[in-house]
Every structure is written in structure tokens, then in C-alpha cells.
Amino acid sequence: MKRLLLEFFAMALMLLPLEARKTQKFTHQTIAIPRVQKQVLSIETAHTSLVILVHENGTLQTVHYGAKLAHPEEYLALNASSEDYNGDRGATYPATGGRYIGEPALHVKYADGTHNTELYYTGHENSEKDGVQTTTIRLRDYVTGLRVRLIYEAYGQQDVIAAHAEILNPSKQPVQLIQAASSALYIDADEYLLTHLHGSWAAEMQLDHELLGHDVKLIESRRGVQATQGNNPSFMLSLNTREFSETSGEVIAGSLAWSGNYRLSFEKDDAHRLNVVAGISPHASAYPLGPEEVFVTPDMLWTWSNAGAGGASRNLHRWARKYGVYGGGTVNPTLLNSWEGAYFTFTTETLLRMMDDAAGMGLEMFVLDDGWFGNEYPRNNDDAGLGDWEVNVKKLPEGIDYLAQYAHEKGLKFGIWIEPEMVNPQSNLAHAHPEWVIQSPGREIYQGRNQWILDLSNPAVQDFVFGIFDRTMSLAPNIDYIKWDCNRVVQSFGSPYLGEAQDKFYVDYCQGLYKVMRRIREKYPKVMIQCCSSGGGRIDYGSLPYCNEVWTSDNTDALARAYIQYSMSLFYPACVMASHVSAVPNHQTGNVTPLKFRFDMACAGRLGMELQPRNLSAEEKALAHRCITSYKQYRDLVFTGDLYRLASPYDGSYFGLMYVSEDQSRAVVYTWCTHFEPRTVGGKAFRLQGLDPARQYKVVEQNVDQSCWWGNGLSFSGDFLMAGGFNPILPRLYSSAIFVLEAQ
Ligand code: DGJ
């Protein structure tokens, strides 16, 4: 009986909710999406089209990025798939929500806890300024009112498109941007060979080629600052091939203009198509966007070429020289930097003699590196002094002014090192402003290279960092060059200034840095700035609009540099690549290379020296003088010419490249042997590129009395030189040669 009763009650309980449901009214209301006119938006450069199809239902689909289409409107016949259960394939700016289940460009969490965003076209505008065509596409989520603007700037002559997004929260409630990427691209090809860079300190920019399989490949930096010392926010995709080619085939290259955490995702879907999403990393950065606030993402640069990796690199370089690098396309001076020659141990006398030698060898600038500051906590090693930016009176009682004046009298420009984002715990600054240090309550403030990081999300710190630059510039009337260092990554992050809004930290830090750089550039348009960051730590198109050059790597071994400089050239132009001749055995690798090889490697970028010149013999100084003098004759090609890579050190025993003037009348060719090859008596044929096949070029080897090529001093047709006729003999590891070509 008891059992029967229990069963009865259990049945009644199960039935009740069903009954309730029968009587309940289903109240869900769907907001209607206005239909729009179907149309094709074609964003065009000289040789490329990015085609976006606006469907009648208001969704946006990227249907083509590649060769320029004469009739992009032919895509109008393509209908949106109503049965796309995988959701919005090819969405131009895919958002988490609706049918979309892939990697999103946008993921918003609303105040009511929901995560759904569906973006629909509401209009677009085109405008033009100084030859740059801008297309702004407006999108809207009709349920929440969220608005997005996609902005594409097309640089016609350079075949580069810079894309970014702006997200506006028009509601009365704050929202969280869990992800807000700059741009997405949907690509349809048979194969996708991804080329990207990885590495670490003194081994930056190592090359990886990887055939993409299905699912998601991520390239991400969570380092906070120094974001590019591991990998770089740049990549190439060789399409429809498993082979990387310098000279042929379709290549899409991309580079994110951001110096903080970034994420590039490559998702090959079940239809074998690739969705690339590029932007700020969402790591610990669910950015709060208040009512009426707008979030502006950094630019993502895209380029396409049908001339292989070389074509894609040249597009990016041309764009960078004209638009992406501060002072791009102008020649920067050769220099002697004090670091590897003196480190922290010097007096005024040491530096004056270094300047004498620099001037004697024909160099044009002297740069005083680390170690010149701090009194109570003198900067005699990396333990102390960072933050206390007053001149160390023991080492330099005559002051910086005296040094700068001496340099100028010698005909040298003068530069100086700072690391303004950092502080040693052993410094007056750390004692005066502990609240300016990045830290998390109750947790250890980890040190890196014995230093802490200042919290650039804090406007007071931004003012302080600007002030360091400002004061350093006032140490002498004509400081020509500042080397801006940054020697560690963010760990155990936290901003005392941001309070509960810690999600803003990584983004606000980077934006804080850019605010400071903008102020600096307003006040000091002429000073040259090197973005150093421990070597290779901040090589990105976010920093370069403020900086004339980068310190490529702390690894100054010319052999190691072959690999680093080759990879860097895929995305960044030679005009920003600082490359220095240093002592042997090399201080990083212990390797011993001939001075000529070291010069020939450094002369492929902005040439400098970084050693104690008094340790050079008279013969070595004479060779240095010869190499520097000849470099000055052809260096305009390094700074403004088009790069053609001739041989990769990653693929064989030789590295070769050349820079060609725009009018094809001059070129400089570099060849290096990076690995011993037996039986090279016949010479190594390098097929030159970029010359006018019909013109005659006189070929002259630099800096030698006896040339390694039988054709030295003679003239040859561009045709001949590009067909393999140029075959210098580079018989040993570290054999190298530079040739200058002039059209007759
Ligand atoms: C790291 C840089 O990369 C070096 O060139 C040098 O400036 C040191 N910092 C100085 O501490």
C-alpha cells in the first residue's frame, strides 16, 4: 500500500510540469531584420581585389581576396546558403552568436549575461585621401543595438589593405568585449602553407613552414610587452602549394600593427576553407565597454601577390617605407654603439676615445648605451639604478652635454640609451612610487633581469615616462638619437591604478605606450628613435610609426644573423634593420667569424659597430674604413630599394639577397656562404632578380683587391645575370661578397 501511494505521488509530480507547459503561452519574439539591397563591395588596389558580398538578409560574406577582378559584380549571382548549419561561412567579421560556431572575430558578453551577437549590414561609405581609398562598412546587432564599423584602407600602389574595426556600445549598460579582433579573412584554396616566425632572446625570428591541417592553429603572444621576442604577429600563406616559393605562386601576407598581446588564428573548416582571424589577444582582456564608448582595434595589414613570398615582402616593404615607419625611406647614419665595447664600465675618457675611433673609421654617430645614470643606486650592472635618470657623476663628471658636444665637434651625431618603462627595486623611484609598479595584491612581484615594470596604463606613469624622454633630450642641446629599451615580459600582472578593471590592463598598457610615443613625436619630430626591446622584442607595425629603426637582435654573431635577418626581411624592410659588427669570439655565441663576413652581413641593413675599437688592429681598422666608405655609396639602395631574396640560409649553404633601385638602374647584391660545400670551384650560381633584362650592368665587387667572380668589373645584360651567369666563388664557410651593379 505504502509503495502504491509513493508511486502515485511520483507520477503526479512528473505529470505536473507537462500540464503546466500545455497551458503556458510561448512568448518568444524574434526581432525582424530589415532586408537590404544585395550588392558587391570591392576594395581594390593596383593588382588586388577584396570582394565582400552583402546579401539581402544583411549578412556580409568575404568571397574573394586575390588578383584584381575586372567584374567583381559577377558575385551578385551567388546566393546565401539558407542551409548553412555551420553558420555564416565566410562571414566578413564573424561574431559569436547566431548560427556561427567557428573562431570569432567578435565576442561580446552583454549586461544580461547573454553572448549572442549577429551583425547585419546597415550601410557603407567610400572616401579618398592622398590616394588612399577608405571603405567603411556599418553593421548592427538588431537585438542589443551594438554597432560595428569595419574600416578598410586600400593603399593602391603598394597593394596593401589596412583593416580595423570599431565597436560602439550604444546601450545604457556596459558590455564586455571578450574578443574584438581587427580583421578576419576567409580563404578558399587547396592547400595553405603557413610561414611564420618563432624564437627567443638571441635567437629571434626563426622560420617555420607548416602545412595547415584541419582545426585551429594559434599564434599568440601573452608576454604583455616585448611581445615579438618569441613569435611575431606576421605570417604568410602560400596558397595551393606545399612548397614555399620566393618567386611564384599566390601568397597572402598579414601583419598586425600592435605591440601588446596578440592572437592570430587559422581555422581550416570542414569545407577545407581557411578562416584567419587577427587581433589583440583575448587573454585576460575581457575589455569593459561602457555606454556610448567605442573600442578601436589596431590595424591588420593584408597583402596579396602572385609573385611568391618575394612579391608579398616587397608590397609590405614599399608600404612600410611610405606609410608604416617613422621617417621611412630616409637614410639613417652608421654608428658605433658603446654596449658590447664597454658595457657598464666606462669613464668620459673611454667614451671620447671610442668617438675618436668611430670618426676615424668613417662612422657617423656615437651611441652611449646603458650605464650612464644613477648615483645613490649607480647603474654599474643590471641590479640597480633603472628609474633614476640623472647622470652618474662618478663616471661622467663632465656630463652628457660634454660628450654630445665632443661628438658633434668630431662630425658625429650623438645618441643615448634609456629604458623608461622599467625600474630596479634598488632605485629611488621604486621607493618613491611603489604603486607605479605592475603587481598583484599579496603576490610576489617577480623580477626579470632584476627589474620591475612600470604600469603604463596609469596616466601618471605615462607622464613620468614622457618626462624621462623629455629630460634626457635636455641633457644636451642636440641629442640626435634615442635607443628605447625594454628588457622583460609582464608576469603576475596587475595594475594598482585600474582597481577592479584589471581586464583593461594589457590593452591600456599598450595604448598608454602609444600615447607617450605620440606626445614624444609631437615634441620631437626630428630625433631618431630606435625601438630596441632587448633585441627583436618589439618588431611590429604598431611601434614602427613612432620609430626609425629596430634593434634586430642582441645576437650580433654574423652567422646567427643570417637566419634572423632573412626571416625579418619577409615582413619588415631593411631600412629599419639595425645590424652591428661586433668583436670575436662573439659575446653571445662564442663564434669566430672573419671581419669581412661580419661587415658584409651588417651592411645588408643599417650598418653599425658595437665593439671596443681600440682592440682592432690597424689592418682591421683599415678594412672597417673601406667597408664603411663603400656602404655609404650604395646604402640608399638598402634604405629605399626593392628586396629580392636569392638564396635562403634555411634551405642550403648560401644566403643571398639584393636591393634594386626603383628605376632598375642600380642594385647591390650580397652573397654569403653559411655552410661549407665541397667542390664549389665552379662558383655558386645566384639567379639575380628585379633587373631590366635588356640593360647592361657593370658589376663591381666591393672591399676586395681580388674579386671572387670572373666577371668583376665587366658589364653584362640583366638577362644574363638573371639566368644564372652570376656565379661568384664562395669556397668556405664565411666566404662572402658584395657587388654593386650600375646600368651603363
Ligand atoms: C638590451 C639591449 O638589447 C642591448 O643592446 C643593450 O642596450 C642592453 N639591453 C643594455 O642593458
Query: Which residues have C-beta within 8 Å of that of residue 83, sequence separation ≥ 6?
Result: none
Structure confidence by residue, pLDDT tens digits, 246-282? 999 999 999 999 999 999 999 999 889 999 999 999 9
Take residue 726 and report the three cell numbers written for it. Answer: 652570376
Q: Tell me: the pLDDT tens digits for 29-70?
A: 999 999 999 999 999 999 999 999 999 999 999 999 999 999
Residue 532 alpha carbon, nearest atom of ligand 1 = 3
DSSP string, 155-181: ETTTTEEEEEEEEE--SSS-EEEEEEE
pLDDT in tens, 510-520: 999 999 999 99
Nearest CA to ligand 1 atom 4: 534
Q: Separation of 87 CA from ligand 1 center, angstroms? A: 50
Q: Is the pLDDT of residue 8 over 50?
A: no
pLDDT at 23: 56
C-alpha cell at 681: 670551384
Tell how far the Cα of 172 is from the centroid of ligand 1, in angstroms: 48
Residues 6 or more apart from 179 whose CB is under 8 A from it? 96, 104, 105, 106, 107, 279, 282
- Burial string for 187-204 (b: 16+ CB within 10 Å, else e) reads bbbeebbbbbbebebbbb
Out of 554, 557, 600, 642, the active site residue is 554
Ligand 1 center–CA 534 separation, angstroms: 6
Return the pLDDT at 24.
61
Higher-scoring residue by pLDDT: 22, 503: 503
Give the C-alpha distances (Å, rounded to integers) separating 156 from 304, 319, 640.
12, 10, 19
Q: What is the pTM of this model?
A: 0.95
Q: Is 370 in the pocket of ligand 1 (CB under 6 A)?
A: yes
Q: Is 554 a catalytic residue?
A: yes
Q: Determine the angle formed by the axes of helices 595-602 and 558-571, rounding to 10 degrees.
A: 10
Pocket residue to mutate for ligand 1, from 345, 382, 534, most atoms within 8 A of Cβ = 534
pLDDT value of position 27: 83
**Residue 417 CB less than 6 A away from ligand 1:** yes
678 pLDDT band (50/70/90 cuts)?
A: confident
Instruction: Please tell me the residue having the least CA distance from ligand 1 atom 2.
Output: 534
CA distance 186 to 237: 12
How far does the centroid of ligand 1 lie from the alpha carbon of residue 75, in Å?
54
Burial degree of 573 (CB within 10 A; 0-12, 13-18, 19+): buried
554 Cβ inside 6 Å of ligand 1: yes
Residue 300 to residues 137, 303, 378, Cα–Cα distance (Å):
16, 10, 43
The mean pLDDT value for 613-642 works out to 98
Judging by DSSP bridges, how do beta strands 300-305 and 577-582 pair with one another? unpaired
The pLDDT of 370-397, averaged and rounded, is 98
Which residue puts its alpha carbon closest to atom 9 of ligand 1? 534
pLDDT at 670 over 80: yes
Predicted confidence (pLDDT) at residue 583 exceeds the cutoff of 70: yes
Among all chains, which residue has been given the C-alpha cell 668613417? Answer: 362
Per-residue pLDDT tens over the stretch 151-162: 999 999 999 999
Q: Is the CB of 369 under 6 A from ligand 1?
A: yes
Q: Active-site residue among 485, 508, 540, 642?
A: 485
Chain-wide mean pLDDT for the chain?
A: 95
Active site residue 112: no
The residue contributing the CA closest to ligand 1 atom 11 is 370
The residue whose C-alpha atom lies closest to atom 1 belonging to ligand 1 is 534
Region 490-510 average pLDDT:
97
Best of 370, 382, 386, 538 for a ligand 1 pocket test (most atoms within 8 Å of beta carbon): 370
Per DSSP, which regions of 474-575 are E strands? Answer: 481-484, 528-531, 549-551
Distances (CA, A) of 106 to 123, 200, 275: 19, 30, 14
630 lines ligand 1 (CB under 6 A): no
Query: Tell me, what's the pLDDT at 81?
Result: 65
- Write the CB contacts of 727 (distance below 8 Å, at least 6 apart in sequence): 682, 683, 684, 685, 686, 709
CA distance 312 to 720: 25
Q: Which atom of ligand 1 is nearest to the CA of 417?
A: 7
Non-local (6+) Cβ contacts of 739 within 8 A are 668, 669, 671, 699, 700, 701, 702, 709, 712, 728
| CA 3–ligand 1 middle distance (angstroms) | 83
Contact 354, 365 (CB under 8 A): no
Planar angle of CA 510, 490, 523, nearest 5 degrees: 35
pLDDT band at 681 (very low <50, low <70, confident <90, very high): low
Q: Is the pLDDT of residue 114 over 80?
A: yes
Compute, in angstroms, the gap from residue 425 CA to the centroid of ligand 1.
19
